[in-house]
Each structure stands twice: as structure tokens, then as C-alpha cells.
Structure 1
């Protein structure tokens, strides 16, 4: 029963991802997602209370996958000779995903109009940052950098990622934009870390 329920959730999450990306969160209905997944409304409501709850589960799932990917990359004992290569190494594990960007941008705007949802998003972002920080600290130690304020570094890196992701998506064929992205991450690291 648990396995079947997990499969149902996974199919609903996959269907919602495609529906949200194509039609937008504001135009999607529970019925549309159920139809895509091949389920009834009952299957939806036995797993989620609302589209917002489904989105938060999707965000948690994707954040966990991203953290696992970054951790797996960092667990590899590949020699990382300098800070720039470390940045490129980590960025290679963090996807620049057009669909996910559209979904999260719309949901963020929705949350800004809903104080309870806004608080939930802030709490989820803090949990992601807290989980990612030890991984980044280990990587930075490998390239000889200390982090006096890990929370500030985490916030700055998320801001840099979110902003540069939009630029990369708007100009997907621009090598300059990708280079500027690495440059910005380098400046953030130089500002928030010290040589060890």
C-alpha cells in the first residue's frame, strides 16, 4: 500500500510539474493534473490538500535531488586546484532549468500575496540553505577558504544563483552570460570568505 501511494504521489508530482510549466500555476486545476496523471480527484486529495501543498512537496523533492547531486559531486575526490574551478564544478551540478524557473517564479509571486505561504517558503529556503552549507564549507576548505559567516554566504549564493539563472535562460546561447555567472559567484566567494 505504501509503495502504491508513493507511486501515485510521484505521478501526480510529475504531472503537476509539466502542467505548471506549460499552463502556469494560476491556470492549473486539480482536474487537469489528475487527468495528466491518470487519476481521479480522490487520488489527489488522498495525497495533497491543495495545489500549494503539492507545489511545496515538489519543491522539497527537487531541492533534495539537487542537494544529493551537489553532495555526490563533492564527495568525488577529484582534484580541484583553485576557487574558479570549484565554482564551475558546483554549478555543473546545479541545473539551469527553464520549466522549474517558470514554476518557482510564479509560485513566489503567489506566495508574496499570501503571508502563511510566504512564511512556509522562507522556512523551506532556510532548511535548504542549512542542508547545503556544510557541503559548501567542505568544498571551500578543499580550496583553502574559510567562511566567517556561513548564513550570509548562503544567502548571497542563492541570490546570485537565482539572478544569473534568469539571465542564462533569457540568453541560452550566450557564452558571455555563462562566464559572467561564474565571475559573479567568484566575487561573492571572495567577499564572504577568507584565505585559510
Structure 2
């Protein structure tokens, strides 16, 4: 019988290590989402994020440099998820009116996501409270929106943004502001700003925005 002391465990295959590392990162992101939304970004502690995910501080720093880094990763994950769903959804609709309606419905569902709305607001509040970081964070936020979302949407809704980066920034901020304001009041007073009113106002504002844009419907 072989001596158990001399038995060496087989090396872990690289693909298994990659899967374990990806799973760890996803668990940390999920934990960070919950803690940022409940405690606020500035009061959240790295120890708590790691602990809630069942990981160590070392595991956190193996994946992220700091809290800002994990915050950016959350935004990137959100936008990737949006485009994986929104692009095929809009591409499957033949008319601009149907695409506008579907886009509006998608924004309505987004506005009901309490955790995501709180995270969006936390990101912007953190940037506003730290003027030395405001421009960098605002540029990052807008650049992420433009590079991942606006180009694909403008192919389907050409009146959004046109071909100019400045117009795209305005559209990204306008749509974000529309969602933030209505969603915040939906969370604040859901009996008055209920799901039906949220949907009605969001679609109305979206249609008006598109109508006023160059090339929009008259």
C-alpha cells in the first residue's frame, strides 16, 4: 500500500483554476453590489465585502485594486448585461415605433431594480462629493455608456446622439438622468409613483426626447 505521506495531489488544470478565479470574482461582485446598495459606497468596507462572499482580503485584492475598482467592474458588468439583452431585442423589431416602445419597456424594468438604481446614485454622489475625482469619474461613466451602449442603440434609433461624441454624451446623461429621477421617486413614494405611473412618465419623456432630437419623428 503506498505511503500517504508521499502521495502528491495532481496539479489543478489551468481551465479549472480559471473557472475558480472567475467564480471568486463573481461572488465578490455580488457581495459588493449588496453592501454598496445597503451601506453606501463610502461606508462599505473591503473586509465586509470579502466576508459576505466567504472570501479573504487577499482574494479581494487578487481581483480588485480598491473599492473604486470593484465599483467600475459593477458598471461594466451592468452594461455588458444590458447590451446582451437590449441589442437582440431591438434588432428583432421591424419599425422604429416598436423599437422605441421596447426600449421604453426595458428602461421601465431597469428603473424597478432597486439595487441597481441605488448603485447608480451612489456612484454619482461619490463623484460629486469628491471634486478632485469628479471629472475622471464622470468621464469614465460617460465613456462606458458611449462605448458599450450608445453606438448599438443609435443604429436602431438614429435620432439618438447622431455622429458627434458631444451629442452622445448628452444623450447618455439625459437617459441616465431620466431613469435616476423617476426611479428615485418610485422608490421614495411607490404608492403615488407606482409601476403604471413610472412606465407612463418614462415612455412619455423618452418619446419627447427622441422627437426633439435631430432626425426624430415629427
TM interval, short-chain normalised:
0.7 to 0.9
On the 8 A contact 1:73/1:93 being kept in 2, the answer is no
Partner Cα separation in structure 2 for residue 89 and residue 192 of structure 1: 19
Of 146-155 and 116-125, deviating more is 146-155
Alignment correspondent of 1:69: 85
Corresponding residue to 1:26 among 42, 62, 66: 42
Correspondence list, 1:117-156, <5 A: 118-140=135-157, 148=162, 150-151=167-168, 152-156=170-174
Partner Cα separation in structure 2 for residue 175 and residue 193 of structure 1: 30
Corresponding residue to 2:183 among 146, 152, 165: 165
RCO (CA 8 Å, sep 6+): is it higher in 1 or 2? Answer: 1
Q: Which has the larger radius of gyration?
A: 2
Do residues 178 (structure 1) and 210 (structure 2) align? Answer: no
TM-score (norm 1): 0.83
Aligned length: 190
Do residues 58 (structure 1) and 62 (structure 2) align? Answer: no
TM-score (norm 2): 0.75
1:147 Cα deviation after fit: 6.2
Gaps of 5+ in 2: 1-16
Q: CA RMSD in A?
A: 2.5
